[in-house]
């Protein structure tokens, strides 16, 4: 995801949270984001989320997802 790019992400897509040597599958991106939010800060800064069959989001990109207003359907990613 490049700076200034706007992307719509479907929160209902399955996703995997990668936290060090542990990868956890979630039925939805929304659930993966909730789990990311519960990580300790030292773990969160190294974590990533991959949409199944799609985009990999780094910790910095996940933080943008968490800081954007989002609904049950989609989250808008926009530049800071």
Distance CA 37, CA 79 (A): 20
31, 51 Cβ separation under 8 angstroms:
no
The whole-angstrom distance between residue 69's C-alpha and the CA centroid of its chain comes to 13
What is the predicted pLDDT for the residue at 79? 37
Digit-coded pLDDT (tens) for 11-69: 899 999 999 889 999 999 989 998 998 999 999 999 999 999 988 999 988 877 665 55
Predicted local distance difference test score (pLDDT) of residue 27: 97
Identify the CA nearest to 24 among candidates 65, 52, 63: 52
CA distance 34 to 32: 5
Residue 10: the pLDDT is 81
- Global pTM? 0.73
């Amino acid at each position: 995801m490049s700076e200034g790019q706007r992307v719509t992400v479907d929160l209902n897509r399955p996703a995997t949270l990668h936290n060090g040597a542990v990868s956890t599958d979630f039925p939805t991106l929304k659930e993966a984001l909730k789990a990311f939010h519960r990580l300790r800060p030292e773990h969160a800064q190294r974590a990533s989320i991959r949409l199944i069959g799609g985009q990999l989001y780094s910790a910095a990109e996940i933080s943008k997802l968490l800081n954007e207003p989002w609904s049950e359907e989609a989250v808008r990613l926009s530049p800071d």
